[in-house]
Amino acid sequence: MALQQDIKVAVDAVIFGYESKGNLSVLLIKRGIEPFKDAWAMPGGLVLEHESLEAAVKRELKEETGVRIDYLEQLYTFGKPNRDPRNRVISVSYFGLVRPNHFKIKGDTDAVDAKWFPVNDLPKLAFDHKKIFQMAAQRLKGKLMYQPIGFDLLSPEFPFSDLEHLYTTILGRDIDRRNFRKKIKSFGFVEETDKLHQEGSGRPAKLFKFNKQKYDTLVDDGFHFDIKFV
């Protein structure tokens, strides 16, 4: 029996945004074409002939939002037969975490608008993008539980409370701050500086910096980061 296939391959990008002491958000585009015209969705589209998946997701992200990201992590492949009413489309999804103020976003090509939305106040999403978002959010939380990430979202020198806020914001839960500080400092990739940070009328806080070389060595060797919650 001859095999007949007419399957298209697409990519979708779940881009999370975080600002210091801010909330977690996600980048969405408003679709300018059918199906789901004027609905909000993840940036993405079909992979071109002779184009890698990684090149396709970066291209679609840049074309539809103006955002350029060097590294996106592959999330999952979504392939239910009726996920797109036009064709049988398999989507390979990716996710990333960035600082929104580093980008000037603008909807273009198939997108008439692009906007950051708080993750706890999303509009109704097109296709199966709600499921893609939910999986990406869970993956991001899970990643924090076994591998510290997100230092590029902080200032080069930061009070330790900024790192704690980053984790509680993404995880959506209060962490055991004393245990968290002890664990982070024991790995050696967060170093105390001789500088102080004054915020409000309270006592000045010490500033810390990230030692990327030490961190990369630990990642290569393999290590487990366990977070305790309140």
The boundaries of every CATH 3.90.79.10 domain in the chain are: 7-145
pLDDT tens for each residue of 92-138: 999 999 999 889 999 999 899 999 999 999 999 999 999 999 999 99
Q: Which two tokens stand for residue 197?
A: 């940070």
Q: How far apart are CA 137 and CA 122, in angstroms?
A: 13
Centre a 10 Å sphere on the Cβ of residue 19 and count the other Cβ atoms it contains. 16
Identify the CA nearest to 87 among candidates 5, 2, 3. Answer: 5
Is this structure's pTM higher than 0.75?
A: yes
- Which CATH number does 147-221 carry? 1.10.10.10
60-82 core/surface letters (b: 16 or more CB in 10 A; e: else): bbeebbebebeebeebbebeeee
Tell whether omega for the bond before 35 is within 30 degrees of 0, i.e. cis.
Answer: yes
The boundaries of every CATH 1.10.10.10 domain in the chain are: 147-221
Identify the CA nearest to 156 among candidates 197, 96, 198, 204. Answer: 197
Q: How far apart are CA 29 and CA 187, in angstroms?
A: 39
pLDDT tens for each residue of 30-74: 999 999 999 999 999 999 999 999 999 999 999 999 999 988 999
The fold of the 7-145 domain, in CATH, is: Nucleoside Triphosphate Pyrophosphohydrolase (3.90.79)
